[in-house]
């Protein structure tokens, strides 16, 4: 059967990479992007786009029927720091959008991808090499929606056989779109600071380690998960998904190798408490074992790619 894919919440940071990757793989006309926001500049004009509120049940159903959609990537949602500013909206949007997509998946036999996050873990979780199954007591509203969403995915799979697949994304590092209001996003902002002003004030302390991943790896893993035969998907909550782990002082040192007069200073804000409640590194043995996940980018290679691509994008020659 021909893949017809709807990407909801496509104008965010993940959509900015996922839509072009899917269009390349399955043909531009088969990838329908949608968002309540404007069409992302990153993929504007490269294929179909519809304005859609991820909570609009009737509108989503009409679009799925009209475009004969077979798979939905549901990316809409409010992330960590933004969620703390508006917890009610975070719960309503993150849970409502997932719930309606899962209901539609039951009715129309759709395949679903939904991203979870390292934010599902909390301060009582073991912080180093966090295993797949462990104590999970998230303290941010974003993390609560991720953990509840994981359980909902598993419920819809067990109860109605929905083919829903999910990854606990670490901090994703991308140059194509602007980062959203998150915590790990400092590791994207730092590159803009380095190139534009040769300085950056970190909202996290020098030694705050968090799990991170270059976006090319994340997209490769996402497509690999979605293409794996169903019997390989042993986990219908969300897979631990890991690549690298670094702290602000380490990423700054790596940037300095390319921009020697780059300066970092530290002024922890509300994001510090969020970061302190999350793991420092993740054990993703099950993803590697079940469907062959393998990352490619380490910190030096990621830094090189970020600087090279952002220099071109921002037309900066340092
Ligand atoms: N990047 C996200 C955040 O920091 C983690 O899922 O909010």
Q: Which atom of ligand 1 is nearest to the CA of 142?
A: 7
Any ligand 1 atom below 6 A from CB of 275: no
Chain region(s) in the chain for CATH 3.90.25.10: 173-211+243-314
In our burial notation (b when 16+ CB lie closer than 10 A, e otherwise), range 198-219 reads: eebebbbeeebbbbbbbbbbbb
Confidence band for 226, pLDDT divided at 50, 70 and 90: very high
Tokens encoding 131: 């295993």
d(CA 54, ligand 1 centre) in Å:
19
Any ligand 1 atom below 6 A from CB of 13: no
Chain region(s) in the chain for CATH 3.40.50.720: 5-169
Any ligand 1 atom below 6 A from CB of 182: yes
In our burial notation (b when 16+ CB lie closer than 10 A, e otherwise), range 37-54 reads: eebbebbeeebebbebeb
- Count the neighbouring beta carbons within 10 Å of the beta carbon of residue 34: 27
Q: How many whole angstroms separate alpha carbon 301 and alpha carbon 298?
A: 5
d(CA 47, ligand 1 centre) in Å:
28
Confidence band for 177, pLDDT divided at 50, 70 and 90: confident
One CATH from 3.40.50.300, 3.40.50.12780, 3.30.2010.10, 3.40.50.720 for 5-169: 3.40.50.720
- Give the closest residue (by CA) to ligand 1 atom 2: 182
Which residues carry out catalysis? 142
- Give the closest residue (by CA) to ligand 1 atom 6: 117
Tell me the pLDDT of the chain averaged across its residues: 97
Per-residue pLDDT tens for 41-98?
999 999 999 999 999 999 999 999 999 999 999 999 999 999 999 999 999 999 999 9
pLDDT at 130 over 70: yes
pLDDT for res 1: 62
Any ligand 1 atom below 6 A from CB of 79: yes
Please list, in sequence order, all residues whose beta carbon lies within 8 angstroms of the beta carbon of residue 246, skipping any fewer than 6 positions away. 187, 209, 210, 212, 254, 299
Residue 255 contacts residue 198 (beta carbons within 8 Å): no
pLDDT for res 223: 98
pLDDT for res 50: 98
Q: How far is CA 23 from the centre of its chain?
A: 18
Any ligand 1 atom below 6 A from CB of 114: no
Top CATH class of 173-211+243-314 equals alpha beta
Per-residue pLDDT tens for 55-70?
999 999 999 999 999 9
């Amino acid at each position: 059967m021909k893949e017809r894919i709807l990407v909801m919440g496509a104008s965010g940071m993940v959509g900015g990479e996922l839509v072009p990757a899917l269009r390349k793989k399955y043909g531009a006309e088969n990838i329908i992007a949608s968002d309540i926001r404007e069409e992302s500049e990153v993929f504007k004009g490269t294929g179909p786009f519809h304005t859609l509120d991820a909570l609009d049940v009737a509108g989503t159903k009409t679009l799925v029927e009209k475009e004969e959609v077979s798979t939905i990537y549901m990316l809409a949602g409010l992330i960590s720091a933004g969620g703390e500013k508006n917890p009610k909206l975070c719960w309503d949007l993150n849970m409502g959008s997932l719930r309606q997509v899962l209901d539609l998946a039951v009715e129309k036999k759709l395949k679903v991808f939904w991203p979870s996050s390292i934010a599902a873990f909390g301060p009582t979780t073991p912080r180093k090499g966090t295993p797949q199954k462990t104590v999970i007591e998230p303290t941010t509203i974003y993390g609560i929606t991720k953990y509840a969403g994981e359980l909902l995915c598993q419920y819809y799979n067990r109860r109605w056989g929905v083919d829903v697949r999910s990854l606990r994304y670490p901090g994703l590092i991308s140059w194509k779109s602007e980062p959203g209001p998150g915590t790990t996003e400092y590791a994207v902002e730092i590159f803009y600071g380095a190139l534009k002003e040769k300085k950056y004030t970190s909202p996290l302390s020098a030694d705050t380690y968090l799990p991170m991943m270059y976006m090319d790896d994340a997209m490769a893993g996402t497509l690999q998960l979605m293409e794996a035969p169903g019997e390989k998907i042993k986990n219908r909550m969300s897979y631990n998904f890991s690549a690298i782990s670094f702290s602000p002082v380490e990423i700054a040192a790596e940037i300095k190798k390319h921009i020697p007069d780059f300066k970092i200073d530290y002024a922890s804000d509300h994001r510090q408490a969020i970061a302190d409640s999350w793991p420092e590194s993740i054990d993703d043995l099950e993803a590697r074992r079940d469907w062959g996940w393998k990352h490619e980018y380490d910190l030096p290679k990621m830094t090189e790619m970020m600087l090279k691509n952002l220099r071109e994008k921002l037309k900066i020659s340092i």
